Structure 1
């Protein structure tokens, strides 16, 4: 235990130190938030100054005029016969107003020179695009695994929204939400409530577990695929709401072994699954409740006769039935895996949907 603590302690110290330095540099707020704060304080000072001069005997327009020239340090002069209270109020207004004005101008200059204003405008434009999405996929974590997932989904025409907390990340023209995926607000900004699927590719099993719980509560029908970095995290992620849990290290090792043992077979399926320019593809279709095919033998589909596709397997209750025979009865939530060309798969999808119950 002591050895584990010694190994983890420097990493925690480094992470906290990095976050502390970031807060120290930015003052705990993003530049846009500091600009809004500065403008809000400046507006409050102008309102207070105008009110104060009105109480000291000026009319509203003269009071506003006097406040503006005082805060801006222009100072065309004071009205005649001013008293000590007027002068004292003006001194306080100059100190507060000038300091706030310089702070706000400094934030504007910082944003212009560092390009943060353009970055903020770009993020706002990107957020509007995300708000118009529906049926997309959300990827949490844009490291090596997340980038590979986003590229593969993009190749298949799926709209992808990436969530990552690194402000220096380059998203390669992906729709990006900068923030912590464990925060419900960040998930909502990514449109998780309208998404079709989510992939959890964060480095930490704890973070993946937490995001799975949050995403499942926000969107009960969301299909969640989670990354597990250890074998012990797999059942926990399933309990947290993940539909599928993948251990990249285990999958990678199995794939490498399969290629070494059966290079032809493994290479063929890798091409079919990964590349979009192949003549044949794989299609998975889940039989819904109320379908006319439920309880009927597989032969009644007449899949090969009507579409030309081949039935590879049926997935039911976590088990696979490979090369199913025509007498095998179909059940609710059976996932049929078929192989065919794009045209054949389109015919197969139409055939499957013809047996589905009508949408209310």
Structure 2
């Protein structure tokens, strides 16, 4: 990204210098030869363009020296500009710049997306999952090398990213945080994650924030800052290792689950809108297994989860259905909950 900014600066500076030289030429001819503006403009134009026309008037030796300096200055800047443009096409950077411009256009229109702060190992796992599930997202990373590493993968060619420090409001605003759905903080520093969470919640109080934390003592501070969920990697690693010893068969079952059923088979939580026809009806009346071919494994409300819900369970406002099944059928369920009875 910085290379592209540098290139655009070079082009802009080159054009600005040419315009300055042009203005100097007009003013110089007007002063040295007492020409009118249009005569000075015309002579400056043919001088800088080096078209080879003769001077329309006899000029003094001082003016000849001035004219020669204009020619050399103009040629030097034009050659520099041409060499920059040639390098742009020859080295294949033009296609990359077009990709960056397209990405910037996508960022302007993106909404209901997730912002992933950090393009390291943790962030890469999140991006992989979002890419596979078609979830719109933007990655914020201050290390350009990490972004280049991600872009080197073919599946990341359309990655939306911003190179910058997420602790700065302007960077979060560039990621369109006002229209974002959620924020995922993966930085190794708990303090940085805490600061970003506070800033993000100030800009968008409705934002759903998930953060990692290395220290259990920082967990409470993150929750106070408005983080909705905090993940402790050491705790997860410890529980996984103990499960490998205490419940190896159960763990093996879950690990092989995705492999056996394929990537299109998934767990998902489907929110029931407040105006859904399902409100007030019993679970058996919805006939989800029959009409959608999905299994309802839980019903959630206000973070309380009722697993293996009974068929007589009445659906209330704020409920979500946790289902397991094919992704296409899950999408069908999302439309089913809002359709008229």
* Structure 1 partner of 2:14: 38
Cα deviation 1:48-77 (Å, max 9, x = unaligned): 432442355224454235435666799988
Matched, 1:179 2:179: no
* Alpha-carbon distance in structure 1 between the residues aligned to 2:210 and 2:310: 30
* Alpha-carbon distance in structure 2 between the residues aligned to 1:58 and 1:275: 86
* Alpha-carbon distance in structure 2 between the residues aligned to 1:117 and 1:342: 38
SS in 2 for 1:175: coil
* Structure 1 partner of 2:121: 144
Cα deviation 1:223-277 (Å, max 9, x = unaligned): 4333333334434444444433323333233233334432333343345568872
Counting only pairs closer than 5 Å after superposition, residues 305-344 of structure 1 correspond to structure 2 as 307=292, 309-326=294-311, 328=313, 330-341=315-326
Cα deviation 1:78-97 (Å, max 9, x = unaligned): 7535386x579669867976
- Which of the numbers 267, 277, 282 marks the counterpart of 1:282? 267
Residue 176 of structure 1, CA deviation? 3.6
Matched, 1:54 2:30: yes
* Alpha-carbon distance in structure 2 between the residues aligned to 1:253 and 1:344: 35
Residues 280 and 341 in structure 1, CA contact (< 8 A), matched pair in contact too: yes
Give the TM-score normalised by structure 2: 0.72
Counting only pairs closer than 5 Å after superposition, residues 1-360 of structure 1 correspond to structure 2 as 30-55=6-31, 56-68=33-45, 80-82=58-60, 104=81, 108=85, 111=88, 116-168=93-145, 169-170=148-149, 171=151, 172=153, 173-182=157-166, 183-272=168-257, 277=262, 280-291=265-276, 293-294=278-279, 298=283, 301=286, 303-304=288-289, 307=292, 309-326=294-311, 328=313, 330-341=315-326, 345=330, 348-354=333-339
* Alpha-carbon distance in structure 2 between the residues aligned to 1:283 and 1:81: 83
* Alpha-carbon distance in structure 1 between the residues aligned to 2:130 and 2:285: 34
Give the direction of change, closer, same or farther, for the CA distance of 1:159–1:67 in structure 2 (3 Å limit). same
Cα deviation 1:92-111 (Å, max 9, x = unaligned): 86797677557656655665
Give the direction of change, closer, same or farther, for the CA distance of 1:34–1:328 in structure 2 (3 Å limit). same
Give the direction of change, closer, same or farther, for the CA distance of 1:350–1:175 in structure 2 (3 Å limit). closer
Give the direction of change, closer, same or farther, for the CA distance of 1:286–1:97 in structure 2 (3 Å limit). same
CA-based RMSD? 4.3
* Alpha-carbon distance in structure 2 between the residues aligned to 1:128 and 1:107: 25
Residue 166 of structure 1, CA deviation? 3.2
Give the direction of change, closer, same or farther, for the CA distance of 1:232–1:314 in structure 2 (3 Å limit). farther
* Structure 2 partner of 1:6: none
Give the direction of change, closer, same or farther, for the CA distance of 1:295–1:118 in structure 2 (3 Å limit). closer
* Alpha-carbon distance in structure 1 between the residues aligned to 2:257 and 2:228: 23
Give the direction of change, closer, same or farther, for the CA distance of 1:289–1:133 in structure 2 (3 Å limit). same
Q: Which runs of 5+ in 2 are unaligned?
A: none
